[in-house]
Amino acid sequence: MAARTHKPVSMEARQVDELPRGEGWQYEPKWDGFRCIARRSGKRVVLLGRSGKSLARYFPEIVEALAKLKPSRFVLDGELVIPTGATLSFEALQMRLHPAESRIRRLSGETPAVLIAFDMLQDPAGSDLASHTLRERRTALERFFATVDDETRLRLSPASEKRASAVRWLARAGGGALDGVVAKRLDEPYRAGERAMLKIKSLRSADCVVGGFRYATNKLGGRKVVGSLLLGLHDTSGLLHHVGFTSAIKREEKPALTAKLEALVAKPGFTGNAPGGPSRWSTERSAEWCPLKPKLVVEVTYDHFSGDRFRHGTSILRWRPDKTPKQCTFGQLKQKTADPMKLLV
């Protein structure tokens, strides 16, 4: 039987280097969560992820909250997030993707999610708004929230036509709060499946110890070369923890770098949290890594650090022979952040 395909249901974004200028733009915080289209029709509530797959069973508290609202028909576009203190926990979201219903129910009580709505595709009267401009859809969304009682599981995302507001949001991004800023044209319709929005992230850099590496997948049987570097940072007790990776290594530099790394192979590599630990996302390949003596320091750029890890892959900025591995600590990543939930309308 052929695998079932899922049509993308949400409008997507393409990354750019800076905030757009000029009139006609709406700026919004980019939330660090799971994209979600929430649809209610009478008693039925549907939550769809970015790919079109259902998220409803993983977030029963959101289904229950939407089913209790006075409006019985609507379609919202938003982001599922889980606030923990003054940050948003992407790791807590990932923990929900588990087959055991009992565990999902327990987590929904311990770490309840919030749906942050930033667009409306159908209003309570049943009117399809996808062909309307963003300005019209935002007006409908705000009108919808005016009818909603104080529901903590559903919140309205702020939006502004002022670039200065976007600059302030961007300054708070990347440390476990916001994930950046999104810019949308006010005069455009909702274009599902298209990269019709712009996303801007704040890039920062960090000096990391190379605690290990993985070989690149070799299907041709030639000499093995490095595929990715495993990055580490020291905590206050001196333990070296695995915090992410970088695979942005130039092809022509790989043979010489591989030889340099192989000369440093030695256990343990990481003395704290190590890569390939047991989890439901581990694969056979994730355990295949070579530990290194803590000799090499590399400066990498990153856009988001939360849960003691770089959320995405990093890029190599430069090697730092002038830095000692002991200087590579979590302390360099500290930044001023604000509680993202206090930004919500």
Catalytic positions are 30
Q: Backbone phi, then psi, for 68, in 5-degree steps?
A: -90, -10
Task: Determine how β-strand 240-246 pairs with β-strand 226-234.
Answer: antiparallel
Cα end-to-end span (Å), the chain:
47
Q: How far apart are CA 247 and CA 162, in angstroms?
A: 37
Among 182, 194, 128, 193, which Cα is nearest to 158's?
Answer: 182
Rounded to 10°, the helix 60-67/101-110 angle is: 70
Per-residue CA distances from 276 to 85, 243, 262, 287 (Å): 28, 12, 20, 4
Q: How far apart are CA 329 and CA 118, in angstroms?
A: 37
Per-residue CA distances from 179 to 87, 90, 245, 247, 305 (Å): 11, 11, 19, 22, 10
Joined together, the tokens standing for residue 262 give 């192989």
Burial of 304 (0-12, 13-18, 19+ CB in 10 A): buried
Longest C-alpha distance within the chain, in Å? Answer: 69
Task: Determine how β-strand 178-185 pairs with β-strand 25-31.
Answer: antiparallel
